[in-house]
Amino acid sequence: MRSCDVLVIGGGPGGLAAACSAKKAGASSVIVLERDNRAGGILNQCIHDGFGLIRYNCELTGPEYAARAIREATDAGAEILLSRHVSEISKTDSGYCVSVYTKDGIEEYRTRTIVLATGCRERTRGNISIPGSRPAGVFTAGVAQNLVNVRNVMIGKRVVILGSGDIGLIMARRLTLEGAKVLAIAEIMSAPTGLARNVSQCVQEFGIPLYVKTTVSKIIGKRKLEAVELSDLDQNGKVIPGTARRIDCDALVLSVGLIPENEVAQTAGVKLFANNAVDTDRYLQTSVPGVFSCGNSRHVMDLADYVSEQGEMAGRNAVHLIRGEEMETWDEEKSNCMKKGFPEEGTVTCTVCPNGCQVKWDEKTGTFSGNRCKRGARFAEQEHNSPTRSVTTTVKTASGSLIPVRTAGRISKAHVFDVVEQLRKTKLDSGVIIGDEVLRTEIDGEDIRVVATQTSL
């Protein structure tokens, strides 16, 4: 049996940041238990960029962000243990005992404090009870993301997406780049629920129709999905009879919300709200003394950057508690400055940071408005003159697995599909280290370099 001061459950960005900061704050031993065989949590399947804009002031992909977080935690001296599935927390005289399933047997860890960082799960078709049949071809967006980005499995060719949360929007672009036709995104609310930057970059840019106040009113197909029926909704969210139209498709992707995952927390008796979020105090401490919670398992958050920040505070507070020091308080308002929904007509959505300012350019006077900082003006100007994009996708290795990759820097928007096509034909015959070049090519005189965003040996 091992013991430590701070035991972190879950090795996603929240848990890694908690472990790192706890160690830095002076905890003598910090252990992270992660059930997967790789740390980084959900970020490993989020191969797109847009992470780290706040925390690292640069645009990283999910796997790159995860790699940084892992390195920071290990450098600080936290121990990350993989393939460890925590099943139960029980109280002891001096703290807690945590039971863990591993391939070698059931392990136990004693600890004085715990930081819960177990992430979230997705709401499913069952949760929202869509009428109709139950054929093959209905996936939640996160599962679709995992299958397409990690397992090399394509979920369909003609896709309808229900829900306009960020994961759904990101998947609309991802599936389009991989050759699928995204026929429609249906959103129940009167505006998209995802970030404006994602509506702009992932949906409008590809001409994908996004219908608001619309739902999937029926799933059709006995064994395999054949079609869905879309219907308009009235003010009360009820289907308006007679508005149904059929869309033939072979995959329906649901992006209908996330639910904090707190099974393990419940074994410790942690108090939850009705939506499964954790009822913590201002110090991120749960109803069970010495047990902290952060990240998506505490309360679903939009950005990994904020998750990391919150994880750091939870980790530090665990140490403060042990030492009897005053704890830091979390500002709940912090993460609410981002523009969501449809971009405003006639503006450019600045994607330099997650705020997503709606920048308007007055051609006559040459002035910009709506941007909260100067970078927005530069972005809008560039967007007007010669728009650029970073491209993220995957490359196949000889063993059949996929490696996430990105262009090193932004490339001309016009060349996006060309690069993706070239990368589709690229095969790597050996392992790669994060940052290794996987392709160098020239398209219409533009020198384009593509690098791996994850180490895979």
Partner 1 sequence: MGKVYDVIIIGAGAVGCAIARELSRYNISTLVLEKECDVAYGTSGRMSGVVHAGFNNKTGSLMAKLCVEGNRLFEGVCSELGIPYKKTGKVLVAFDEADMKVLEGIIERGKANGCEGLRLIGQDEIRAIAPGICGIGGMLSPNTAIFDPFEFCIAHAENAMDNGVDFSLESEVTAISRRNDTFYVTTPKGVFSSRFIVNSAGLYCDRISAMLGVDNYRIYPCRGQYYILDKVASDLLDIPAYPVPRPGIGGLGIHLTPTVDGNIIIGPSAEYLEDPDDYSTTPDVMDKLFSEAKALLPAIERKHIIGNYCGIRPKQAPPGEGGFRDFVIKEEEACPGLINLIGIESPGFTAAVPISFMVSDMLRKHIDLSPKTDFKAERKAPVRFRELSREEQEKLIKTDPEYGEIICRCQNVTRREIRDAIENRFGARSISAIKYRAWATTGRCNGGYCLAKIVDMLIHDYHMKPEEITYRGKGSELFSGEVK
Ligand X SMILES: Cc1cc2nc3c(=O)[nH]c(=O)nc-3n(C[C@H](O)[C@H](O)[C@H](O)COP(=O)(O)OP(=O)(O)OC[C@H]3O[C@@H](n4cnc5c(N)ncnc54)[C@H](O)[C@@H]3O)c2cc1C
* β-bridge partners, 186: 162, 211
Query: How far, in Å, are 122, 179, 296, 344, 417 from residue 154 at the CA level?
Result: 20, 10, 27, 34, 18
54 binds ligand SF4 (CB under 6 A): no
Q: For residues 74-103, b (16+ Cβ closer than 10 Å) or e, as one string? A: bebebbbbeebebebbeeeeebbbbbbeee
223 binds partner 1 (CB under 8 A): yes
Q: Are 33 and 98 within 8 A, CB to CB?
A: yes
Near ligand X in 296-335, by CB under 6 A = 296-297, 303-304, 307
Near ligand SF4 in 318-377, by CB under 6 A = 350, 352-353, 355-357, 371-373, 375-376
Query: How far, in Å, are 172, 342, 349, 357, 361 from residue 345 at the CA level?
Result: 21, 8, 10, 13, 12
By C-beta, is 341 or 356 nearer to ligand SF4? 356
By C-beta, is 36 or 381 nearer to ligand X? 36
- Which amino acid appears at position 181 of this protein? K
400: left (phi over 0), alpha (psi -120 to 50) or beta: left
Using CA atoms, how far apart are residues 264 and 443, in angstroms rounded to an integer? 51
Near partner 1 in 85-144, by CB under 8 A = 85, 87, 101-106, 121-122, 124-127, 129, 131-137, 140, 142-143
Partner whose binding site includes residue 12, from ligand SF4, ligand X, partner 1, none (CB under 5 to 8 Å by kind): ligand X
Near partner 1 in 259-298, by CB under 8 A = 263, 274-275
By C-beta, is 113 or 215 nearer to partner 1? 215
Using CA atoms, how far apart are residues 184 and 162, in angstroms rounded to an integer? 8
Joined tokens for residue 372: 């909260």
Near ligand X in 8-37, by CB under 6 A = 9-15, 33-36
Q: Are 167 and 410 within 8 A, CB to CB?
A: no
Query: Which has the closest alpha carbon to 284: 305, 315, 325, 308?
Result: 315
Partner whose binding site includes residue 13, from partner 1, ligand X, ligand SF4, none (CB under 5 to 8 Å by kind): ligand X
Near ligand SF4 in 86-105, by CB under 6 A = none
Partner whose binding site includes residue 132, from partner 1, ligand SF4, ligand X, none (CB under 5 to 8 Å by kind): partner 1
Q: How many CA atoms lie within 13 A of 423 on its CB side?
A: 29
Joined tokens for residue 216: 């999937």
Choose the binding region for partner 1 from 202-210, 215-223, 343-351, 440-448 (rule: CB under 8 A). 215-223
Count of beta carbons in the 10 Å neighbourhood of residue 258: 22
Cβ of residue 169: shortest distance to ligand X, in angstroms? 9
62 binds partner 1 (CB under 8 A): no
Near partner 1 in 405-444, by CB under 8 A = 424
Query: How far, in Å, are 13, 101, 414 from residue 301 at the CA level?
Result: 12, 29, 33
Interface positions with ligand SF4 (CB under 6 A): 350, 352-353, 355-357, 371-373, 375-376, 379
Interface positions with partner 1 (CB under 8 A): 35, 83, 85, 87, 101-106, 121-122, 124-127, 129, 131-137, 140, 142-143, 146-148, 150-157, 178, 217-219, 222-224, 239, 250-251, 263, 274-275, 394-396, 402, 424
Interface positions with ligand X (CB under 6 A): 9-15, 33-36, 41-43, 46, 51, 84-86, 117-120, 142, 145, 166-167, 170, 258, 264, 295-297, 303-304, 307
